Amino acid sequence: MKDKIRDLLLFKEPSEQKLFVLHETNEKDQQSGQDKEKKDKPRRRKNEDLLLHPRKDLKVAVKKVEKNDKEKKSDISCILAENLAFIKAKFHYPENSDLVIREFDIVVKDAVIAAFLIFYDGMSDTRTINMDILQPMMLLSNLDIKSDGNGLSKYITSHILPHNQLKEVNTHQEVVDMVNFGGCGIYIDGLDVAFAADVKNLPGRAVEKPNTELVIRGPQEGFNENIRSNTALIRKRLKDDDLVAENINIGKRSKTPCAMMYIKDIANDALVNEVRRRLKNIDVDHVLDSGELEQFIEDNPLLPTPQVIATERPDRVCGMLAEGRVAIIMQGSPFVLVVPVTNDDIFHAAEDQNLRFPYANLLRLIRIFAIIMSLLLPGLYVAITNFHHEMIPTDLLLAIMSAREKVPFPSVVEVFIMEISFELIREAGIRIPGPIGPTLGIIGALILGQAAVAANIVSPILIIVVAVTGIGSFAIPNFSAGFAFRILRFGFIILAALCGFLGTATGLVLLGFWMVSAKSFGVPFVVPVGPRTKGGFSEATIKEPIYKQENRPDFVNPKDQKKQAKKSRAWVRITNDSKNEKQEE
């Protein structure tokens, strides 16, 4: 018991954690791509002189790996019956009713080679299996077996099976993984290899409008639950030769396919490595959604604000990839995660980049105002009405006094009643089945708004406060951040009720400490302000005209800092041609 109390109160050495900080890269790395190529060659030569055993070791290592691959013993038997038994056991056949095992014979002149293929009904395109796999093999009559087993497998892949995504695999596990992901496994008698064909046709949504981040100006496509269509949506927009989509499977059992996308010669290597390291070192059985994944990879699980941007919009992801960030796409989730993130990204909306800068800045200022409102307004109301009466204009003071005269509760209780009922309406609004949705509006508006005032439970001014707060929290473009401010709001109400403005100020200072100490993938969370970076404020908080946005954000330390020329509107300049034209005139 004593120990427990001591544990709770006293200082304890924090447990060792691997910290990641995204450091400034060399200046050479930051230079533009072309310069880099030029400079790379002499540097390599210089490095070679320095190395004692240049290159040889490297080559040996590579060779060893290749050898290992070849030598890796195949656990697939040459006897088809054994393979069939193994597969049946592995897939719990026949309890597993949607698994299809199709046994067939490949008829060759005089011999009959038995074979079978497996796939999950419903996940695969049966027409492709019929036309591109079964038909060529079964109707094949001139199979000329010239070589040994290995040769035969080569022959099959290169001549017989016309399917476009066919892989020769050495282990049962690979077949199983492919089948679980909608592919089809083919075993042929006499071969110690199997074939895995990607014939998946997973049921799912088509590309639809995004549900959460709606824009007026900009593309209207959203991600869906299919990883490949999501990567395709990104590639469709971001036609960059160096856009890489690395495949990483997450979950020991689920092996959910994830893709880590980045632009190789823009994104910082350290950042890419760190994301890869985190994704590969998640020790969990199943990961079902990027919402779960986000919680596994974020830096500070306790920080109220999100440290990863989850977006449904391909154009937003493309924009951030082009800045040198890393996107994580997950099979089964229409939300793509982008890291690293700073405080400012939270109140950027998808539309900002598409709008002219004065419009976008108006929206951004309104959003900052909305954040302040949703975070502080009820707290300020409580503080002013309880402690700082002299701050209110006398007319308003007397109005509040008259309104509160009939209310039996202290103003804190009043605020809590309204805030909690508002949260109730909001939660119920999400859960309520569509057809009875309007009922909620009537209940909310009439009963809470009108009747609560008529019954003197709350004062009418408070309804305004709560309404403005609610509207403010909806104006925050990031869904998770909205949550953060909703939770913190209650803290600020309590602090304001305890110590007025002193409490509010203390709360703000503590919140500031918390935010400043946080990092998102090695990047300080309040970066343009926290560690002051060049041009940070003008680019992250207030949007500059697009031709002035010459640099990628400094905090991601991209390999290529410049994203456009100093004078990107090159047509403004008078070229020699146009000069001549003028003279001719």
Stretch that binds other proteins, among 103-111, 156-164, 399-407, 471-479 (CB under 8 A): 399-407
Nearer to other proteins, 448 or 462 (CB): 462
Going by their DSSP bridges, the two strands 309-311 and 326-330 should be labelled as: unpaired
410 belongs to the binding site for other proteins (CB under 8 A): yes
Out of 402, 538, 578, 580, point to the residue binding other proteins (CB under 8 A). 402
Secondary structure of the chain: what % helix, strand, coil (to 5)? 50, 10, 35
* Preceding peptide of 210 cis, ω within 30°: no
Stretch that binds other proteins, among 26-34, 132-140, 287-295, 404-412 (CB under 8 A): 404-412
Query: Measured from the CB of residue 373, what is the shortest distance to other proteins in angstroms?
Result: 21
Out of 398, 445, 455, 471, point to the residue binding other proteins (CB under 8 A). 398
Decide if 384 contacts 401 (C-beta within 8 A): no
Name residues contacting other proteins, limited to 105-144 (CB under 8 A).
none
Listing from the earlier edge strand, what are the strands of the sheet with 256-263?
243-250, 256-263, 326-330, 336-339, 309-311
Separation CA 63–CA 58 (nearest Å): 9
Query: Measured from the CB of residue 21, what is the shortest distance to other proteins in angstroms?
Result: 20
Out of 170, 300, 386, 541, point to the residue binding other proteins (CB under 8 A). 386
577 belongs to the binding site for other proteins (CB under 8 A): no
**Closest to 109 (Cα-Cα) out of 137, 142, 136, 146:** 142
Q: How many CB atoms lie within 10 A of CB 424?
A: 13
Which residue is it, tokens 């981040």? Answer: 213
405 belongs to the binding site for other proteins (CB under 8 A): yes
Going by their DSSP bridges, the two strands 336-339 and 326-330 should be labelled as: antiparallel
Out of 12, 41, 59, 109, point to the residue binding other proteins (CB under 8 A). 12
Name residues contacting other proteins, limited to 458-517 (CB under 8 A).
460, 494-495, 497-500, 502-503
Nearer to other proteins, 387 or 547 (CB): 387
Out of 153, 305, 374, 385, point to the residue binding other proteins (CB under 8 A). 385
Tokens representing 573? 């300049």
- Name the residue type at position 125: D
Helix (H) or strand (E) holding 196: strand 194-197
319 belongs to the binding site for other proteins (CB under 8 A): no
Separation CA 370–CA 501 (nearest Å): 20
Query: Measured from the CB of residue 306, what is the shortest distance to other proteins in angstroms?
Result: 18
Q: Following DSSP, what letter does each residue of 43-107 receive, concatenated?
A: HHHHHHHH-SSTTHHHHHHHHHHHHHHHHSPP---SSHHHHHHHHHHHTTTTTSTTEEEEEEEEE
56 belongs to the binding site for other proteins (CB under 8 A): no
- Name the residue type at position 96: N
How many residues line the site for other proteins (CB under 8 A)?
35
Separation CA 557–CA 566 (nearest Å): 19
8 belongs to the binding site for other proteins (CB under 8 A): yes
Nearer to other proteins, 67 or 388 (CB): 388
Which residue is it, tokens 């391909």? Answer: 314
Tokens representing 177? 């993984």
Stretch that binds other proteins, among 43-51, 222-230, 312-320, 387-395 (CB under 8 A): 387-395
Helix (H) or strand (E) holding 243: strand 243-250
Which residue is it, tokens 């913190």? Answer: 488
379 belongs to the binding site for other proteins (CB under 8 A): no
Query: Measured from the CB of residue 535, what is the shortest distance to other proteins in angstroms?
Result: 35
Tokens representing 447? 């009963």
Separation CA 156–CA 259 (nearest Å): 31
Query: Measured from the CB of residue 473, what is the shortest distance to other proteins in angstroms?
Result: 23
Could you tell me how many residues make up the chain?
585
19 belongs to the binding site for other proteins (CB under 8 A): no
Query: Measured from the CB of residue 441, what is the shortest distance to other proteins in angstroms?
Result: 24
Decide if 260 contacts 328 (C-beta within 8 A): yes
Query: Measured from the CB of residue 346, what is the shortest distance to other proteins in angstroms?
Result: 23
Query: Measured from the CB of residue 410, what is the shortest distance to other proteins in angstroms?
Result: 6
411 belongs to the binding site for other proteins (CB under 8 A): yes
Nearer to other proteins, 366 or 510 (CB): 510
Nearer to other proteins, 17 or 211 (CB): 17
Query: Measured from the CB of residue 562, what is the shortest distance to other proteins in angstroms?
Result: 42
Separation CA 563–CA 297 (nearest Å): 29
Stretch that binds other proteins, among 5-13, 133-141, 207-215, 305-313 (CB under 8 A): 5-13
Stretch that binds other proteins, among 7-15, 249-257, 262-270, 533-541 (CB under 8 A): 7-15
**In the complex, which residues of this chain contact other proteins (CB under 8 A)?**
7-9, 12, 14-15, 302, 385-387, 389-390, 394-395, 397-405, 407, 410-411, 460, 494-495, 497-500, 502-503
